Amino acid sequence: MRDTLTVRLRSLDDRVAVIDRDTTRSYAELADEIDRLGALFDASGMEAGATVVLHGDFSFSQIAAFCALYLRRSIVVPVVTFTEAGHDAVRNTCRAEYVVRVGDEVAVEHWDPAGGQASERVDALRESGQAGLVLLSSGSTGKPKAILHNLDAIFAEKADAPERVGRIPRNVLLFLLADHIGGINSLLGVLRSRASAVIPAERTPGEICSLVEKYGIRLLPTSPTFLNLVLIGGFHEKHDLSSLKLITYGTEPMPEELLKRVHAAIPGARLLQTFGTSETGISTTSSKSSSSTSFRIEDAGSEYRIVDGELQLRTRTQFLGYLNYSNEAVTEDGWFRTGDLVEETGDGYIRVKGRAAEVINVGGEKVLPLELESILLGSPEISDCVVFGMPNSITGQAVHVEVVPSGNLSKAELRRHIRDFLDGKVEPFKMPTKVAIVAQTAFSARFKKDRKLNRG
């Protein structure tokens, strides 16, 4: 696809490619911008195959820069927001040679690569004449993992696949971030289907729902946490969301009760659970129904198996390895251990029960936060909640929950209600030992529940 990318885009002429904060740009203009930025990179002295940080979220120029770097066989490291740990990772782990900053203008900075040994995997990509992609994990528990992919393989699988006529809507909202595997997947889906990418100025429930109404968005890729924020704020009632035909949700497990609420609030949209990881890419899935959290992986490029309750994947877009961590998450026969605990529900369907790393161990008994959250969301007095474990000198860990109330109960009344509501529904060891009433649960910039923030 690399040799024909701009030819293919230019052939679409005045078809709308990007709607960037109300400015409409055509596919021909996108091809011209890719060429312009390629010339800028040449003028800066950027060599083919260089490791380049692409700093900025989705925009018309960011998309063009991403494509231009791909055409130059660069090792692309997309970064939306620099943290101290992220800055260290791109300098010392990725050994970045250039930074392309995308704002009102596109600027190129040359960096002298930090010391340290070059990655053999990166060198192998360069020698093969193929482009690379390095994704940085969130790094919430320490330094981010630098995840190396073959970008040519991702383009071939996601952007150069046969166009799925009638399955990809005309306007697609790029909700997920530009340095997230889901965001990149959404962008390549737009290019594959000749759709129009709608870019939000900010990712708030009001802004996103306003764009859905204004541009007749039919496909919204998002997360369970964000969907709940839409419901809590009543934005589905303040805006006309009738154009939505498909809402895909991923990045974190979906509580069954929340899915029921979303289905009831936006009945015209089909709800589809997606599944993927930064290491394996996004796999094509199908949900059992819009009110079911059970799904199938139906992707010719993906295989899965369940070992000791954990989902393992092997895909054509699988990463080449970590640049700064051991690869023990990959089995000797090439399967990636996702860390997701699942169960098979029959007829080829599976259901995510939660993350292995988030299981709460109460005196040897295991508590899955997702199970308890889903039960609690069945209460009309609770609009949101997050369950997590905290150290306990007697049991090792204890179950804590933060709750966002939906009614007018006092804090004491709500705490009593929660205990009464859970009584008979869960075993005694799953009963929360502490209930905190909060205005909003904590979540990351990627709208994923944060079970560790400021909790010791």
| pLDDT, tens digit, 9 for 90 and up, residues 156-165 | 988 775 555 4
- Listing DSSP states for 31-53 in one string gives HHHHHHHHHHHHHTTPPTT-EEE
- Whether 168 shows a pLDDT value over 50: the answer reads no
pLDDT given at position 205: 96
Q: What is the CATH number of the domain that holds 423?
A: 3.30.300.30
Number of domains in the chain: 2
Give CA separation, 153 vs 53, 70, 164, 180, in Å.
20, 11, 19, 17
Question: Domain span at residue 143?
Answer: 2-157
Question: Does 143 fall in a domain?
Answer: yes
Each residue of 6-20: pLDDT tens digit? 898 999 999 999 999
Percent of the chain with pLDDT over 70: 94
Question: Does 169 fall in a domain?
Answer: no
Question: Does 329 fall in a domain?
Answer: no
Question: Does 181 fall in a domain?
Answer: no
pLDDT given at position 285: 92
The total of other beta-carbon atoms located within 10 Å of residue 308's CB is 8
The structure tokens listed for 221 are: 């890729």
pLDDT given at position 456: 47
pLDDT given at position 451: 77
Question: Does 217 fall in a domain?
Answer: no
Each residue of 350-369: pLDDT tens digit? 999 999 999 999 999 999 99
For residue 147, give the nearest of 158, 136, 161, 160 by alpha carbon. Answer: 136
Question: Does 372 fall in a domain?
Answer: yes
Q: What is the CATH number of the domain that holds 88?
A: 3.40.50.12780
Q: How far apart are CA 330 and CA 321, in angstroms?
A: 9
Each residue of 44-97: pLDDT tens digit? 999 999 999 999 999 999 999 999 999 999 999 999 998 887 888 888 888 999
What's the mean pLDDT when you consider all of the chain?
Answer: 91
Cα-based angle 239, 166, 68 (whole degrees, multiple of 5) = 85
For residue 373, give the nearest of 212, 256, 261, 271 by alpha carbon. Answer: 256
Each residue of 213-265: pLDDT tens digit? 999 998 899 999 999 999 999 999 999 999 999 999 988 889 999 999 999 99
Question: Does 293 fall in a domain?
Answer: no
Percent of the chain with pLDDT over 90: 75
Among 132, 157, 182, residue at a domain's last position: 157
Question: Does 123 fall in a domain?
Answer: yes
Each residue of 175-195: pLDDT tens digit? 999 999 999 999 999 998 889
Q: Is 146 exposed, middle or buried (0-12, 13-18, 19+ CB in 10 A)?
A: buried
Among 157, 177, 192, residue at a domain's last position: 157
Among left, alpha and beta (phi > 0; psi -120 to 50; other), residue 139 is left
